Chains A and B, each alone.
Chain A
């Protein structure tokens, strides 16, 4: 790994802040976001940059896949409440809503993040995550609907 070329190193370092935030939102709460990012970087380094047309999209898909896998194995371990504990510690003011967000699937969270915060259109999100535009739109509305339900139940 000593000969990682400087260009790739620079591109990964530049991608880091965006991907780190994405991983923090999409990843299970008992997985350190930096671990997800690190794994995604490792895959890029193994494959070599030539194989990867769009670095940003590739990193996001990898993080999302890792998150979905982690979430499944985590569910089997029945550690539901630990998950929420972790995030609560970090975002004290809004933890009710964070807990609600955590109940959503990683791909739903990913779409909400990309649409609400990064400001992509559903078509662009579809391109980034490798799904259809309809799927992106459906996930966003499913996420918003579930959050509304959660808030109603809360009150």
Chain B
């Protein structure tokens, strides 16, 4: 019970955007402000960013698909991204799951509130993908949201706050930390995730034991392959307090956010397989709608490039290599954060770029093999 006070204090800081200021005197206009907006906007872990993309692209030959893909928001990131010469060359993509969109349309801003009103965007899931089409390989490096890094050349903060300064700040932050050059940028918001999972009719995930997370509401009573709908999938990929029923006892996954990252990557693979298999025109149309409404990409990617990219990502299959960054939990000014050494960050940057074979492990690389599989 010693930590009741610290738990209360942590709770007292919830939902506080940096530099929040109170507005006194605009009261009448604010009386009927809808409640819980922030709650709705809460970040999801968005592994399905990849799925939205791929799925959208699988149906890319259709005229409707082309039209929809042209609706996807383009971000002007030319000055910070390298871009790739042709879609056939290897490319490095920053994939971001955010709790808001970088650029809300006017209508959405009316509906959800502007950034100034609700606080700046935060990135909940940050992954570096390296796609090597010729070799049929895909490397994935997940950066924990609590990773403590110099933000855009300035003072250190949690990496997930960098998005508040704009996608270009996040790109520079990741590039500086890992010592790599990023080619493209893809951002998906939380609602896109649920829509994608529901559009493909659920995503199958293997469970070795019954599991639960009393925080996110996940509950799987029977081991085996389980089909998760959008809400359950959200509870699964956002779980940082997963408990497994082993020998009649609920045991907690001690890895917290790191365990979550591993589950997200596992989920990405499964979601990719589902989305890539989508041939039903209605499913494809739903996926495209989700992509158009919830995805932002850099303006260096044309719709044609997207289609080509998606097809190749979907065809990589077994060639996916997760790269894990070693981190240390610590506290800075009372905040729980994760730190990584400069050399480990650089090693992870090298590992994600070079796709080393699993037989020759390099620092920073860990093979994560799914314990069970749900192949049909």
Q: Which chain A residues have a beta carbon within 8 Å of chain B's beta carbons?
A: 1-2, 4, 8-9, 12-13, 16, 20-22, 24-25, 29-35, 37-39, 41-42, 45-46, 70, 80-82, 84-99, 101, 112-113, 116-117, 144, 147-148, 151
- Check if B146 is an interface residue, CB within 8 A of chain A: yes
B residues 1-45 near A (Cβ < 8 Å) are: 1, 3-16, 20, 22, 24-28, 30-31, 33, 35-39, 42-43
Instruction: Please report the total number of B residues contacting A with Cβ < 8 Å.
Output: 45
Once the chains are docked, how many angstroms separate the CA of A88 from the CA of B214? 11
B residues 333-362 near A (Cβ < 8 Å) are: 336
CB < 8 Å A-B pair total? 156
Given contacts A12-B24, A88-B241, A101-B8, 6 further A-B contacts (CB under 8 A): A16-B22, A25-B11, A29-B14, A32-B38, A91-B13, A144-B1
A94, B36: Cβ atoms closer than 8 Å: no
Query: Measured between C-beta atoms, what is the minimum distance from A143 to chain B in Å?
Result: 9
Query: Measured between C-beta atoms, what is the minimum distance from B81 to chain A in Å?
Result: 29
- Kindly report which residue of chain A lies nearest to residue B117, judged by CB atoms: A34
A24, B146: Cβ atoms closer than 8 Å: no
Query: Measured between C-beta atoms, what is the minimum distance from B223 to chain A in Å?
Result: 22
Given A2-B25, A148-B1, are A88 and B216 also a contact pair (CB < 8 Å)?
yes
Q: Which of B14, B28, B257 contacts A91 (CB 8 A)?
A: B14
> Please, which residues of chain B bring their CB within 8 A of the CB of A113?
8, 12
Q: Which of A34, A35, A46, A117 contacts B5 (CB 8 A)?
A: A117
Once the chains are docked, how many angstroms separate the CA of A148 from the CA of B4? 10
A85, B42: Cβ atoms closer than 8 Å: yes
- Kindly report which residue of chain B lies nearest to residue A93, judged by CB atoms: B336
B15, A33: Cβ atoms closer than 8 Å: yes
> Please, which residues of chain B bring their CB within 8 A of the CB of A39?
31
B24, A92: Cβ atoms closer than 8 Å: no
Q: Which chain B residues have a beta carbon within 8 Å of chain A's beta carbons?
A: 1, 3-16, 20, 22, 24-28, 30-31, 33, 35-39, 42-43, 124, 146, 214-217, 235, 238, 240-241, 256-257, 336
A9, B240: Cβ atoms closer than 8 Å: no
> Please, which residues of chain A bring their CB within 8 A of the CB of B3?
94, 97
A41, B27: Cβ atoms closer than 8 Å: yes
Once the chains are docked, how many angstroms separate the CA of A31 from the CA of B38? 8
Which of B12, B37, B241 counts the most chain A CB atoms within 10 A?
Answer: B12
Given A33-B14, A42-B30, are A98 and B238 also a contact pair (CB < 8 Å)?
no
- Kindly report which residue of chain B lies nearest to residue A2, judged by CB atoms: B25
Once the chains are docked, how many angstroms separate the CA of A101 from the CA of B16? 19
A88, B24: Cβ atoms closer than 8 Å: no
> Please, which residues of chain B bring their CB within 8 A of the CB of A148?
1
Query: Measured between C-beta atoms, what is the minimum distance from B22 to chain A in Å?
Result: 4
Query: Measured between C-beta atoms, what is the minimum distance from A41 to chain B in Å?
Result: 6
> Please, which residues of chain B bring their CB within 8 A of the CB of A101?
7-8, 11
A98, B10: Cβ atoms closer than 8 Å: yes
Given A86-B14, A89-B42, A93-B336, are A98 and B7 also a contact pair (CB < 8 Å)?
yes
- Kindly report which residue of chain B lies nearest to residue A12, judged by CB atoms: B24
Q: Which of B7, B22, B124, B257 contacts A94 (CB 8 A)?
A: B7
Once the chains are docked, how many angstroms separate the CA of A81 from the CA of B256? 18
B11, A98: Cβ atoms closer than 8 Å: yes
Once the chains are docked, how many angstroms separate the CA of A144 from the CA of B24? 36
A37, B240: Cβ atoms closer than 8 Å: no
A32, B37: Cβ atoms closer than 8 Å: yes
Query: Measured between C-beta atoms, what is the minimum distance from A100 to chain B in Å?
Result: 8
Once the chains are docked, how many angstroms separate the CA of A20 from the CA of B60? 49
> Please, which residues of chain B bring their CB within 8 A of the CB of A30?
36, 39
- Kindly report which residue of chain A lies nearest to residue B23, judged by CB atoms: A38
Once the chains are docked, how many angstroms separate the CA of A8 from the CA of B30? 18
Query: Measured between C-beta atoms, what is the minimum distance from B95 to chain A in Å?
Result: 19
Query: Measured between C-beta atoms, what is the minimum distance from A148 to chain B in Å?
Result: 7
A81, B216: Cβ atoms closer than 8 Å: yes
- Kindly report which residue of chain A lies nearest to residue B17, judged by CB atoms: A34
Q: Which of B10, B16, B216 contacts A85 (CB 8 A)?
A: B216
B33, A38: Cβ atoms closer than 8 Å: yes
A35, B33: Cβ atoms closer than 8 Å: yes
> Please, which residues of chain A bring their CB within 8 A of the CB of B238?
85, 88-89
Given A13-B22, A41-B27, are A29 and B39 also a contact pair (CB < 8 Å)?
yes
- Kindly report which residue of chain B lies nearest to residue A16, judged by CB atoms: B22
> Please, which residues of chain B bring their CB within 8 A of the CB of A12?
22, 24
B38, A94: Cβ atoms closer than 8 Å: no
- Kindly report which residue of chain B lies nearest to residue A74, judged by CB atoms: B36
